[in-house]
Chains A and B, each alone.
Chain A
């Protein structure tokens, strides 16, 4: 049974690439020093860490000093948003933040807290039915007091990729910091920091075949960032706490591999994805694609089915050995449409029936065929029994 399982939830997490495991191995037992220690053990660990940082900087085309290792993508988002907001307030630059209604909770709830607890003002620009932000709306929302714009580069739930270059140009022209949660992006699209004019960007290793428990924050040079975590001097004080050297090496190796294999994998998965989307829409009545039909991640297929609960479809697929999810993993357990689908104006009768299938390295054409065999029956059964 277990060898027949099909994993179609690569946006939730991915298995660690064996090459990554191998690269990490020496840093648990052999090179174990604290990077802040001044003896040989510490220096060894610090060298490994700085080597990893250089490799990340090479992939991202940025400087060493702009790379901060964190414990997760969520932590990176938190450090970026609070750090930028607090620094701007203490410098008297303003207290207004512009974001979208379809951010991951790591951003959405952090921004909410900045509003509720710290008194910042927040504007959420709307998205259209495909989850796309209109750059003109961002331009209209930015005002003199605006200190930060945060837009998720590619949405985890519906796969829509935003027009980052246009939004970034607006932020640069208006002299406002631009943050993006790009957790879904590595290995799928290029991360062109300068073209997008991004100042702050969060990544998470486990989304691209790296280990869990390690993330990355890109901080453009000269960006004024207050410490949202206070402690020692690790990561130049921007993320205090003893650095997870093995994790940093793992993230780095995974990022290098993801970039190396990106284009080939993009082309391969995109054709599987298109077959999956066409097949589902053709075979399941009352179904719709969610997210943008073209501006979307190459591995990402997401749907809504009218009059069915997405969570029931996920359970039925699980019985067939197929791992999928209903919208964002964090949004599960709610019997109303996810906040993302609500923002995209889906009526409840459609919005509760969301299903996300996200492809990855292990998937082949036969997996798509299998989904297309079982899914129409499952949706039909659930509708009939309702």
Chain B
């Protein structure tokens, strides 16, 4: 039987999860901590790094709690790495953090924690959970500059019922302050989403190994099919990108479409870039209740994007058509579109096509 006071805290070696563990221990929870071994890097080194694992262990020692390191490489490879490679191969821009939270942290790890008798799983995410009428609501983190609810929108009611985000009510500055006051052995600068393979540099060499075709140079064309230049591998580009095209043109050019079949990047001017509609699939609704009618919400089309007002039409089959009040420049297939009402996450899905993407 799980004891309601027992919490497992997932430590990444960073400051946020360390402070999460400290806050829960302070509040009287019986805490144990864990780090997931996710993969090996190109040189055979562990990810997270031995230094990060060492810091996580040191934090646990300081708090006087039991620490575990467990092997999650299989789950991570199946649910995150394979997805990441498949998405880049298909010319889309994936959000690996979304399946990682859903299947690895709040799937594999949550199951593990529950099996050990823990009642909750806590992470260092900047997000909040609020219980209303027996249901869980997911809210943005209090610190809007650090909010990570975007990566958590696929969690189910059951997962949320077990989740705790202790730093979600704090600002990053406050978290750093707590770590400093308690002399927690953390470095402070590592963001949790940079721990795995998204860290700059490593991700390019990762693709070189697993999806070399995504790094093969190819052609850049305009919407009329005219050859404008060469690109350095489609994985280096995303819709709406302006920098790094290496083309001199009278007007700034942006990436309009990525075509893996022809290894071609289609570019155009700012006028050609805007889209005001897209199709979203695999819609997941936090409350579990599908709204039967079109509704208004604010949509975030990337992790750092500013929320934009939209009208959402549920289409059945977990699809929805999302219309933006104002055209957006960077609606990108593969990225998640997350719908909010103020701070509350309503639902979200994966962008699969923009209207007129038949360029």
Contacts and interface: CB of A to CB of B under 8 A. Distances in A.
Interface of A: 153-154, 160-166, 169, 185, 188-190, 192, 195, 263-264, 266-268, 292, 294-296
B358 A163 contact: no
Contacts of A292: 316
A108 to B, nearest CB: 21
A376 B197 CA distance: 60
B317 A164 contact: yes
A296 B358 CA distance: 22
Q: Give the size range of B's interface with the partner.
A: 10 to 19
Interface in B229-285: 279, 281-282
Contact of B353 (A163, A166, A185, A267): A267
B108 to A, nearest CB: 15
B288 A189 contact: no
A268 B317 contact: no
Contacts of A195: 282, 318
Contacts of B314: 294-295
Contacts of B294: 294
Interface in B28-83: none
Contact of A267 (B279, B313, B317, B318): B279
Nearest to A191: B317
B355 interface: yes
A267 B294 CA distance: 19
A106 to B, nearest CB: 21
Interface in B290-345: 290, 294, 313-319
B358 A268 contact: yes
Nearest to B90: A260
Given A166-B288, A267-B355, A189 B316 contact: yes
Given A264-B353, A267-B353, A267-B357, A163 B279 contact: no
A165 B290 contact: yes
Given A169-B288, A267-B279, A296 B316 contact: yes
A295 B316 contact: yes
B352 interface: yes
B256 to A, nearest CB: 16
A66 B294 CA distance: 37
Contacts of A154: 316-317
Nearest to A160: B316
B151 to A, nearest CB: 19
Contacts of A165: 290, 318
Contacts, number: 57
Given A165-B290, A264-B353, A267-B353, A190 B282 contact: yes
B315 A190 contact: no
A60 to B, nearest CB: 15
A359 to B, nearest CB: 16
B316 A190 contact: no
Given A295-B314, A295-B316, A192 B282 contact: yes
13 contacts: A161-B315, A161-B316, A162-B316, A163-B290, A165-B290, A165-B318, A166-B288, A190-B319, A192-B282, A195-B282, A195-B318, A267-B279, A295-B316
Contact of A189 (B290, B317, B355, B357): B317
Given A189-B316, A190-B281, 17 more contacts: A153-B317, A163-B290, A163-B316, A164-B318, A166-B288, A166-B290, A189-B318, A190-B318, A190-B319, A195-B282, A263-B279, A264-B353, A266-B353, A267-B358, A294-B294, A294-B314, A294-B315
A192 B318 CA distance: 9
Contacts of A164: 317-318
A267 B282 CA distance: 16
B144 to A, nearest CB: 31
Nearest to B289: A166
Nearest to A153: B317
A16 to B, nearest CB: 23
A154 B317 CA distance: 9
B352 A263 contact: yes
> Residue among B289, B319, B355 with the most chain A CB within 10 A?
B319
A368 to B, nearest CB: 17
Contacts of B282: 190, 192, 195
B112 to A, nearest CB: 20
A266 B279 CA distance: 10
B221 to A, nearest CB: 19
Contact of B317 (A190, A263, A264): A190
A161 B353 contact: no
A294 B290 contact: no
Question: Which 5 pairs, one residue from A and one from B, show the smallest C-beta to C-beta distance?
Answer: A161-B316, A189-B317, A295-B316, A263-B352, A263-B353
A294 B291 CA distance: 12
A190 B282 CA distance: 8
Nearest to B352: A263
A376 B357 CA distance: 33
Contacts of B319: 189-190
Contacts of A162: 316
A161 B358 CA distance: 26
Interface in B174-220: none
A82 B326 CA distance: 53
Contact of B313 (A188, A190, A294): A294
Nearest to A185: B317
Contact of A161 (B279, B313, B317): B317
A266 B317 CA distance: 12
Given A163-B290, A166-B290, A264 B358 contact: yes
B235 to A, nearest CB: 20
A264 B259 CA distance: 13
> Residue among A192, A264, A294, A296 with the most chain B CB within 10 A?
A294
Nearest to B321: A294
A163 B357 CA distance: 28
A296 to B, nearest CB: 7
